[in-house]
């Protein structure tokens, strides 16, 4: 990480949900932020504005770039645009932290999951993470960090998430390989696995369905459903200076679900 400037985090899917909370938590911690969005430009720009205004006295900077993480053909162009933003806004060639957060939720039984649904999940959650990280390797600072987002569903099983959880299981294995191969550059790679969180993810079921919410709370040691701030804070902690020696680990942030 650069010793003369604030660290820079690149967050995919940072316009809403957990990505937005992570961006705000990292900014509060002293990290500049570049976030990506697929279609919600106004929401992404609002996060950028909030960071700049709320932490103006600390000199926080932020930017937003469009990116479809499920379309590998667009990654080369994205990297070029990222290089330009780094040079123009920060006068730097590298960033420090990569948070592979962008994703979608599909709730469908194994028997009824379509090939189109499977391919969409694969492209966004596994293939996209694999090849976007690959493309970004030259821009990640030696001694930096990569944090991938998985799910509690890769540990416990709930009907309807077979395809989604399978992709996240792949990400967890990939994380260990990245840690091994990027170790010589001093880059630590971990995975955070959120439990059920009250967001609009997957249609907002956990947030809006009272029965689902109550069931999750009853199965969680801390007695409630997770909030976005719970995950944003955990992400910021894992990307803090004090966590530099944590590497190749799966950290579940679920409040203790299904123990």
User: Which residues are part of the catalytic machinery?
Assistant: 164
Nearest to 256 by CA among 212, 207, 223: 223
Strands (E), the chain: 8-11, 32-37, 62-66, 95-100, 140-149, 188-194, 250-253
The sign one gets for the Cα dihedral 82, 84, 87, 93 is positive
The two tokens of residue 70 are 């499920």
Nearest to 254 by CA among 11, 18, 36: 18
HSE-up of 68 (CA within 13 Å, CB side)?
9
Cβ 66 vs Cβ 36: under 8 Å: yes
Helix (H) or strand (E) holding 238: helix 228-238
Distances (CA, A) of 46 to 75, 86, 138, 236: 24, 20, 29, 20
Measure CA of the first residue to CA of the last residue in the chain; give whole Å.
38
CA gap 140, 97 in Å, rounded = 7
């Amino acid at each position: 990480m650069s010793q003369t400037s604030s660290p820079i985090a690149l967050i995919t899917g940072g316009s809403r949900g957990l990505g937005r909370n992570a961006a705000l938590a990292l900014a509060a911690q002293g990290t500049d932020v570049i976030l990506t969005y697929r279609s919600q430009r106004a929401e992404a720009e609002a996060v950028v504005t909030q960071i700049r205004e709320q932490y103006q006295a600390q000199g926080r900077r932020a930017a937003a770039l469009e990116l479809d993480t499920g379309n590998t053909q667009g990654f080369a162009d994205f990297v070029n645009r990222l290089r330009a933003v780094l040079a123009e806004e920060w006068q730097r060639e590298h960033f420090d932290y990569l948070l592979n957060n962008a994703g979608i939720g599909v709730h469908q039984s194994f028997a009824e999951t379509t090939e189109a649904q499977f391919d969409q999940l694969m492209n966004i959650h596994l293939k996209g993470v694999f090849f976007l990280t690959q493309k970004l390797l030259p821009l990640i600072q030696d001694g930096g960090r990569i944090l991938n987002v998985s799910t509690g569903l890769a540990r416990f099983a709930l009907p309807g998430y077979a395809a989604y959880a399978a992709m996240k299981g792949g990400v967890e294995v990939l994380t260990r390989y990245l840690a091994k191969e990027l170790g010589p550059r001093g880059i630590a790679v971990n995975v955070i696995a959120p439990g059920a969180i009250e967001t609009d993810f997957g249609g907002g079921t956990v947030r809006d369905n009272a029965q689902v919410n109550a069931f999750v709370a009853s199965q969680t040691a801390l007695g409630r459903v997770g909030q976005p701030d719970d995950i944003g804070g955990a992400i910021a902690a894992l990307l803090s200076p004090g966590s530099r020696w944590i590497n190749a680990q799966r950290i579940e942030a679920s409040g203790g679900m299904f123990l």
